[in-house]
Amino acid sequence: MRPLKHIVLGLLLALVLLFVFPKVTFTEAFIVFLSSFLIEFDHYLEFVYRKKSFSLKKAYQWHVMLEKKTLALSLEKRKRLFLGPNIFHGAEILILFFLAGIFIHSYFYFILIGMTLHLVLDISYIFIKEHQIKRISLIYEFFRPTTWDLIKER
């Protein structure tokens, strides 16, 4: 899913939280908003690592190109495609933020809310496009049967 959709839906959720739940502060709602799309930073890190460039514009263009190449593959190949080690896209990171909310500060719960929205949107988008569930777990993604040769295309 493209970043703009995450930004719009993250803003919508933040506004709903702000106006429906009186105890939610502006800062907490803003944290939900930011975390709903800044989770994409791991995609940027992948770009920097693979292409040795820090250009946000080129990173965006590269990921758009990858999405087009991926969607051009047969459904069977897409199902076996490894999307990359995106460290913020999985249940493991959500568990860490939940624990941080318990032991460090309640703001981590609001980061968790934004990241959960993002992952639900990503999982839904992938399910619609590929008829499968991906991005549930980093560990599962790494060890599930994949076509590793397709990684080289990234």
pLDDT tens string 53-78: 999 999 999 989 988 888 888 887 87
Which pairs count as long-range contacts for 128-134, CB under 8 Å and 24+ apart, including other chains? Answer: 129/71, 129/78, 130/75, 130/78, 130/79, 131/75, 131/79, 132/79, 134/83
Confidence band, pLDDT 50/70/90 cuts, at residue 136: confident
Confidence band, pLDDT 50/70/90 cuts, at residue 149: very low
- Alpha-carbon gap, residue 94 to 2, rounded angstroms: 21
**CB-based contact 70:146 (threshold 8 Å):** no
Q: Tokens for 91?
A: 């249940």
Query: How confident is the model at residue 151, as a pLDDT?
Result: 47
- What is the b/e burial string over 34-60, where b = at least 16 CB atoms within 10 angstroms of the residue's CB? bbbbbbbebbbbbbeeeeeeeeeeebb
State the pTM of this model: 0.85
- Among 2-6, 70-74, 143-147, the range scoring the smallest mean pLDDT is 143-147
Q: Tokens for 17?
A: 């939280």
pLDDT tens string 7-21: 999 999 999 999 999
Query: How confident is the model at residue 78, as a pLDDT?
Result: 76
Task: Please state, rounded to an integer, the average pLDDT across all residues of the chain.
Answer: 88
Mean pLDDT of 124-140: 79
- The separation between the first and the last C-alpha atoms of the chain, rounded to the nearest angstrom, is 17
Q: Is the pLDDT of residue 79 over 50?
A: yes
